[in-house]
Amino acid sequence: MGNAAQAAWYGKHPAWSDYVPDSHQPPDGEPLRDWVKQGRDYLARTDPKGAERGESFYLFAPKETDLLFCGVLAPSSDGGKPPRIFPLTIYVPLVRRRYRRAYPLLPAYAAQAWDEMRLAQQKCLASDKAAEVERILGGLAPAIPAAGWGAWRRFRRDVSTVGAADFVGTLHPAGAGPALDLLARLAESIAPFRDSRLGPPTLAFDLPVSSVLKTAAYQTAFWLRVCESGLGRQAGQPSFFMHASQDGRRLSLFLRQPDPADYARVLAGVGDPGTVHRLDAEGLPVHAALRSGAEAIVNGSKSVSDLFKARWDRLLRGAR
C-alpha cells in the first residue's frame, strides 16, 4: 500500500491576479503544466469562445518522465480585471515504476483520492480568500495505494461477487449488446499493433462511462486491462481522462501521447474528432468474429474477477 502524497496544484484562482503561487507548483509537475498551458492556448486560438465543459478526472502519463500525474481539472479564472479564463488542477505525482505490475488497477485504486481532490477543488472555487484556499490545499494528501505484488489477487477477490454480465451491461448506456460491440471495435483497432514492427500504438479512444465516479473508475480499469491483455508491453501505460460531455461522462483513453489539440477536444469538445475514435458512434461496423468472440468470453465468465483474468489477446487473433 502506498503512503499519502501531498497534493500540488496549478492554474488560476480568483484569489490571485495571475497564476497560483509558484510554491504550489513543484518542478516535477512541469510536463503536466506544459500540456495544460499549451492545450488552453490551442483552445483559445481554435475557438476563442470555447470553454471547458466541466471537471475531468485524469491520469496523465507523459512519455518523457518517470512520473504519472493523477488529478482533477476544472474551469476557473484569475482575479484579473476582467478575469482571464484558465483551469485549475489539483493533482498528485506518482512514481511510474510502482504501478508497472498492475497498471490497469490504478483507476480503481485512485477513485477515493479523486473524490477527495474534487471536494477540495469545489471548496477552493467557492472561496475568494487566498489564505482559505491555501489552508484547504495545504492539508490535502490523498492516498493512492501502489499496485505491487498481490494487487491482482486482492482485486479479483474484491470483485468476485459482482456478476460478469451485470458489469458488462454497464459499459454502454444501452446495455450488454452495444457493450459487446465496443469490445469488438476496440479489439479490431488494436489488433494490428500486436506486431511490434509497427511500433507503439498511435491510437486514442472515446468511450461512455458511468456518471458515478467509482463505477467509471472500474470501467476504466477494465478497458485498460483489455488493452494490456491484447497488446502486452506495446500497451505501455496509457493516459486517460474521465470528463464531462454533451451526452454524459466520457472516457478518453490514449495509447499515444496526448497533445495540446487533445486538451481542447477532451475538455471543451473542440477539434478534429478523427484523432480520437468514438467507439459508440452511430453506423460503425462490427467485426462479426470479434463480436462472437467477445460474447463467448463474457458468457464464460461468472464474475468481474473472471473478466479481468480473461485472455483478451485470444480474441484479437480473430481480427486476422
Tens digit of pLDDT for each residue in 23-79?
777 788 999 999 999 999 999 999 988 888 899 999 999 988 999 999 999 999 999
Give mean pLDDT, residues 284-299. 95
Cis peptide bond upstream of 82, omega within 30: yes
Model confidence at 258: pLDDT above 80: yes
Residue 273 confidence class, pLDDT cut points 50, 70, 90: low
**pLDDT tens, 107-154?**
999 999 999 999 999 999 999 999 999 999 988 999 888 777 788 999
Q: What is the pLDDT of residue 2?
A: 45
Higher model confidence: residue 158 or residue 149?
A: 158
Closest by CA to 178, choosing from 221, 203, 210, 207, is 207
Least confident of 6-20, 92-106, 198-212, 261-275: 261-275
Backbone angles phi, psi at 253, to 5 degrees: -115, 120
For residue 3, pLDDT beyond 60: no
- Res 306 pLDDT > 90: yes
Confidence of residue 1 (pLDDT cuts 50, 70, 90): very low
pTM of the shown model: 0.94
pLDDT, position 319: 63
Q: Which residue has the higher pLDDT, 82 or 5?
A: 82
Q: Is the pLDDT of residue 231 over 60?
A: yes
In this prediction, residue 274 has a pLDDT band, given cuts at 50, 70 and 90, of confident
Element (H, E) at 74: strand 67-74
Q: To the nearest whole percent, how much of the chain has pLDDT over 70? A: 98
Residue 78, pLDDT score: 95
pLDDT value for 35: 96
Min mean pLDDT across 13-22, 91-100, 142-151, 218-227 is at 142-151
Residue 176 to residue 297: CA distance in whole angstroms: 13
Q: Residue written as cell 472516457?
A: 251
Question: Closest by alpha carbon to 256, among 226, 271, 234?
Answer: 234
Number of neighbouring beta carbons within 10 Å of residue 113? 25
Instruction: Mark 253-279 as b/e (b = at least 16 C-beta within 10 Å).
Output: bbbbbbbbbbbbbbbbbbbeeeebbbb
Give me the domains of the chain, ranges plus CATH numbers.
Answer: 8-319 (3.40.1730.10)
Between the two ends of the chain, the Cα-to-Cα distance in Å is 41
Q: What's the mean per-residue pLDDT of the chain?
A: 91
Question: In the chain, which residue ranges form alpha helices assigned H by DSSP?
Answer: 30-46, 106-125, 130-138, 151-158, 164-170, 176-190, 213-231, 260-268, 288-299, 304-309, 312-316
Residue 318 pLDDT: 63
